[in-house]
Structure 1
């Protein structure tokens, strides 16, 4: 009797193995789903400096929405990830802007290699509370950028900062991280 309790029938092992494999597969799938879910959540609430690709156009920004009584400092920075032999810098490292004011600035990008390379910019706004108020109307970050060997290009960013941004925000930073495109189009 004692031996039967210590060694359950072989068919019970098979069921247990199948159940454990199903649980492992479910956890594996959940792990893959977390990345896009987290990214979507960050974009929706402006957490971690993420902003949505906005659908508003310059014509949708009424001039009366500009708050000339207040100004904000905006700094622009960029970082190149390993494997991307480019040089990038904002042509205006910092600007003053009134909430609601439509503004365009440019970044200079140059391919330092002897190969055509495709890169992708990923924006981040800090402080994170300001991210939901930063609206990009036109941005080079919306699509992958292809640069030929030695090519230089000015890339534009047109944006507006909502007039209802909190008084606690007086300065913000827009940072771009440039990555080699994993799947060049």
Structure 2
């Protein structure tokens, strides 16, 4: 006797809805995973474009005009605890007009008894000034290695975008603080002398 073969059950509306929800959830998970890898460069790009968080802009040349609006630029220099460096600007403040290019030198000295590699991060305040503060040259994010007692001079070349005067909401900005902080470089190459000193003596 032939066995009766039952026809496949039709997919119900609830089943279709559940499959659709599962598909959305999987797609959302994959999207968030991809965004997690892109988050850092996208955030960095966002900060550079908008000046968010006091992130300054990078310029390749000076502007073609200078305005009469005057700004006081305060040079703030800091060193992370334990670095063993002395870091200070040649002048604590400088007055610049919008569009005027200025160069300020900093002296960095290793006052410790060991070779140290440091790297500087920076920002400006108030945060709203970040989108208008342009640096043509800077030592930030460059690893600098100093021997005990060694000192060197680094420069920052900058200007305040003259177009800032068109933003009436920023008329309150008269003083801008450019702040640098030196930290130990995490991936610094260990000096050969230090690397070999940890080896056991030859027998």
Superimposed CA distance per residue, residues 23-75 of structure 1 (whole angstroms, 9 cap, x where no aligned partner): 7x9988866754444333222211111124x2413xx433xx111x2211110
Task: Give TM-score scaled by structure 1 length.
Answer: 0.74
RMSD, aligned α-carbons = 2.5
* 1:48 maps to which of 42, 50, 53: 53
- In 2, the alpha carbon distance for the partners of 1:79 and 1:26 equals 40
Q: Which residue of 2 aligns with 1:72?
A: 71
* 1:174 maps to which of 178, 184, 193: 178
Instruction: Give aligned pairs, total.
Output: 158
Q: Which residue of 1 aligns with 2:120?
A: 121
Gaps of 5+ in 2: 1-28, 166-170, 190-203
Task: Give TM-score scaled by structure 2 length.
Answer: 0.68
- Following TM superposition, by how much is the alpha carbon of 1:129 offset from its aligned partner in structure 2, in angstroms? 1.0
- In 1, the alpha carbon distance for the partners of 2:180 and 2:75 equals 8
* 1:61 maps to which of 60, 63, 76: 63
- In 1, the alpha carbon distance for the partners of 2:34 and 2:78 equals 32
CA distance change for structure 1 residues 37 and 83 in 2, over 3 Å: closer, same or farther? farther
Gaps of 5+ in 1: 1-22
| SS at structure 1 position matched to 2:46 | helix
Q: Quick check: 1:150 aligned with 2:155? A: no
